[in-house]
Amino acid sequence: MELTWSDAELAFRDEVRSFLAQHLTDELRAAGQCMTSVYGEHEASLAWQRILHAKGWAAPNWPLEHGGCGWSVTQRYIFARERLAAGAPP
């Protein structure tokens, strides 16, 4: 199956990639390789969640009215895919 992204989805993907490139340190990337959940490596989890929180991306699956991102299913997929490809912690 071949997915075709809309211009808005491609722009979101590029935003995620840029964010990850800017904020994902070698230490966080190394910790991400060892973590199977957000509870894996306490200090790395806290550091990563603080970074996501500052961007407003700490709760990608939550609706906007409950403090989440309000992302579509496609945006959540793009974020998860890019996060995984970059080696970021969960």
Q: What is the CA angle 14-4-1, rounded to 5?
A: 125
60: DSSP letter: T
Mean pLDDT, consecutive 10-residue stretches, the chain (90 aa), reads 88 98 93 71 86 95 93 96 91
Residue of 13, 14, 52, 45 lying closest to 28 (CA atoms): 45
What pLDDT is attached to residue 39? 61
Q: Assess if residue 48 is contained within a domain.
A: yes
What pLDDT is attached to residue 12? 98
What pLDDT is attached to residue 23? 97
Q: Assess if residue 75 is contained within a domain.
A: yes
What pLDDT is attached to residue 33? 80
Q: Assess if residue 4 is contained within a domain.
A: no
Q: Assess if residue 38 is contained within a domain.
A: yes
Q: Which domain holds residue 79?
A: 12-86
Neighbours of 48 (CB within 10 A): 24
What pLDDT is attached to residue 37? 63
How many domains does one find in the chain? 1
Indicate the pTM of the whole model. Answer: 0.86
Q: Assess if residue 6 is contained within a domain.
A: no
Q: Which two tokens stand for residue 88?
A: 């970021």
